[in-house]
């Protein structure tokens, strides 16, 4: 293909640029349309704006390519933005225990993005209060898009069910389903309640599930319709109508699948570059098998702490991106200032795997901050005791003493008394089981520490700094490196919307730089290093 096929170009008010400094300046403004030109006399590639296309037989410049304006809003699947009524293909994840606060969700909605309230790990009353706070906070924004987390709770299925019912009754239109290994009646009930047919016969759904997964087999559960037996049971229990169950057979449980790679909290530590195509392959296979008329969108999460990471996710085909760890240091996050200060110092490798409080007995782990805290190693020690001994009484007295002093920081007797009071109010059956089963009692005592450690970090508990459990992935360290020397280095400036806007703006600039480089423009390395700046 020759240059002549693209036509000749003559400069207008703006001259073409060939110098790397000038190219860098043009790349930094992706909203401006550009032309890639070649100087005939020298063969150099450069950039041009304005001017005019001519039919000159011996031009000074020929057009190699044209690039339209590029906006951060356009980086993902525009169908995602249309389906969910948002401006940007960006989601702030549902950090548990209310760390993703109602105020964070409200701030995201006002910025034209989607945020999920971190309902996981909270008592029912606190979930109610959080949802009501969001509803009040977006009351002046008709159609505002927001959601909340519904976490798989194998140890507390009644709580999972109760929260699902709350979301249905309160009109929560979007749910982030996390930690699911298989479908439960609660998430299926939420997903299909309210489905109906529209005027032209199309199926309309009233609620949307975002399935956060890290395995293809789990993704398939959500990409397919719910099992017929489960739908039939929900009809028999009066939770779905016969029509809703019939329509459900033609809809996936979730139309938005978030492929979560190496991240903070529950994670399988998989790299995004390997996980994302695997999930997309499953999506394509299911779409073909089921002959769905609506798309299943796949978003990306995990390790997204820099503009380059977002640009990479979008280049793989992510419909949207979801961030988590970086938002914990935001002003709106429900984490103590002490915890946020620790996060602001984290490096890329300052993370460690530790037992998860909610699935301790199953051996499930979460990724947490290591720098400045001993939680990770202490939690691992607890799991060692749990797998080694049949009961608390079986632990040798000397080891038990060390366990109380150096790990738990409290006597086992006092911990059990506190634990029994807690479960006596929340679910008395847990206390009854523990009295019968010493192994279960051991698990509850150790889960006391795991649960408290998160609360201590949220509250900034003095004297317990070394026990802070702060969920954190390597994205946090990458983010800190990126913002060093900028206004976002100071945690006092880390508004969740500013973090999001800078990540997206930078991703647009980097995407533009890569487009130009593939067209032969000598793009300087600096074009791939977007620096944070106040954006609105």
Q: What is the pLDDT of residues 10-50, one digit of tens each?
A: 999 999 999 999 999 999 999 999 999 999 999 999 999 99
Tokens of 283: 């999506």
Whether the Cβ atoms of residue 326 and residue 91 lie closer than 8 Å to each other? no
Give the Cα-Cα-Cα angle 495, 499, 501 (nearest 5 degrees).
115
Looking at domain 73-335, which CATH architecture does it have?
Answer: Alpha-Beta Barrel (3.20)
pLDDT of 536: 79
Whether the Cβ atoms of residue 114 and residue 145 lie closer than 8 Å to each other? yes
Whether the Cβ atoms of residue 306 and residue 503 lie closer than 8 Å to each other? yes
Contacts of 81 (CB under 8 A, 6+ apart): 73, 87, 88, 89
Q: How far is CA 355 from CA 57, 367, 375, in A?
A: 72, 9, 10
pLDDT of 1: 39
pLDDT of 427: 87
CA pair distance 214, 272, nearest whole angstrom: 9
Q: How far is CA 131 from CA 110, 116, 124, 353, in A?
A: 16, 10, 11, 31
Whether the Cβ atoms of residue 263 and residue 367 lie closer than 8 Å to each other? yes
DSSP state of 143: T
Element (H, E) at 419: helix 412-426
CA pair distance 524, 28, nearest whole angstrom: 11
pLDDT of 2: 45
Q: CB atoms < 10 A from the CB of 485, how many?
A: 9
Whether the Cβ atoms of residue 125 and residue 142 lie closer than 8 Å to each other? no
Q: CB atoms < 10 A from the CB of 417, how many?
A: 11
Whether the Cβ atoms of residue 88 and residue 108 lie closer than 8 Å to each other? no
Residue intervals of the chain classified under CATH 3.20.20.70 are: 73-335
pLDDT of 5: 52
CA pair distance 170, 322, nearest whole angstrom: 24
Give the pTM. Answer: 0.94
Give the Cα-Cα-Cα angle 331, 90, 99 (nearest 5 degrees).
35
The dihedral formed by the CA atoms of 165, 168, 170 and 176, expressed in degrees to the nearest 10: 90
List the chain residues with pLDDT less than 70.
Answer: 1-6
Instruction: Write 121-126 long-range contacts (CB < 8 A, 24+).
Output: 121/96, 121/97, 121/151, 121/357, 121/358, 121/451, 121/454, 122/96, 122/97, 122/98, 123/426, 124/159, 124/162, 124/163, 124/166, 126/98
CA pair distance 297, 467, nearest whole angstrom: 39
String of DSSP letters for 340-400: HHHHHT--TT-EEEEE-STTGGGT-EEEEE-TT--HHHHHHHHHHHHHH-SSSTTS-HHHH
Tokens of 128: 């109610």
């Amino acid at each position: 293909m020759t240059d002549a096929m693209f036509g000749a170009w003559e400069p207008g008010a703006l001259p073409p640029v060939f110098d790397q400094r000038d190219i860098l300046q043009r790349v930094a403004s992706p909203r401006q349309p550009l032309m890639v030109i070649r100087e005939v006399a020298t063969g150099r590639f450069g950039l041009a704006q304005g001017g005019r296309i001519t039919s000159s037989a011996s031009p000074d410049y020929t057009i190699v390519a044209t690039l339209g304006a590029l906006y951060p809003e356009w980086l993902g699947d525009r169908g995602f933005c249309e389906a969910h009524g948002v401006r940007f293909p960006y989601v702030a994840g549902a950090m548990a225990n209310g760390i993703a606060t109602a105020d964070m969700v409200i701030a995201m909605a006002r910025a034209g993005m989607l945020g999920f309230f971190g309902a996981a790990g909270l008592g029912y009353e606190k979930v109610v209060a959080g949802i009501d706070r969001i509803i009040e906070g977006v009351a002046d924004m008709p159609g505002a898009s927001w959601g909340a987390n519904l976490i798989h709770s194998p140890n507390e299925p009644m709580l999972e069910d109760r929260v699902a019912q709350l979301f249905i009754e309160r009109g929560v239109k979007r749910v982030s389903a996390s930690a699911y290994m298989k479908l439960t009646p609660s998430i299926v009930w939420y997903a299909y309640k309210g489905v109906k047919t529209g005027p032209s016969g199309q199926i309309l759904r009233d609620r949307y599930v975002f399935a956060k997964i890290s395995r293809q087999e789990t993704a398939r559960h959500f990409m397919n319709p719910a099992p017929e037996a489960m739908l039939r049971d929900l009809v028999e229990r009066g939770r779905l109508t016969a029509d809703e169950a019939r329509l459900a057979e033609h809809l996936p449980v979730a139309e938005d699948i978030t492929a979560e790679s190496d991240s903070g909290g529950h994670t399988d530590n998989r790299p995004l570059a390997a996980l994302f195509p695997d999930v997309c392959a499953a999506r394509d296979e299911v779409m073909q098998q089921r002959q769905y008329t609506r798309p299943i969108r796949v978003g990306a999460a995990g390790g997204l702490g820099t503009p380059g990471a977002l640009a990479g996710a979008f280049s793989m085909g992510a419909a949207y991106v979801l961030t988590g760890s970086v938002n914990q240091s935001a002003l709106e996050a429900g984490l103590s200032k002490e915890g946020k200060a620790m996060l602001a110092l984290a490096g890329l490798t300052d993370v460690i795997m530790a037992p998860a409080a909610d699935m301790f007995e199953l051996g499930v782990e979460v990724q947490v901050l290591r720098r400045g805290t001993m939680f990770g190693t202490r939690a691992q020690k607890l799991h060692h005791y749990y797998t080694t001994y049949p009961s608390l009484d079986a632990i040798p007295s000397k080891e038990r003493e060390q366990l109380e002093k150096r790990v738990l920081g409290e006597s086992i007797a006092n911990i059990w008394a506190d634990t029994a009071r807690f479960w006596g109010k929340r679910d008395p059956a847990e206390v009854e089981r523990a009295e019968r089963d010493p192994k279960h009692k051991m698990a509850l005592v150790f889960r006391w520490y795991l649960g408290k450690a998160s609360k201590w970090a949220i509250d900034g508990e003095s004297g317990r700094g070394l026990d802070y459990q702060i969920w954190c992935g390597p994205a946090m360290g990458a983010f800190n490196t990126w913002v060093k020397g900028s206004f976002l280095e100071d945690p006092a400036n880390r508004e969740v919307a500013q973090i999001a806007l800078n990540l997206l703006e930078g991703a647009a600039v980097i995407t533009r730089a890569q487009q130009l480089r593939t067209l032969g423009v000598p793009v300087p390395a600096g074009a791939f290093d977007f620096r944070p700046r106040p954006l609105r």
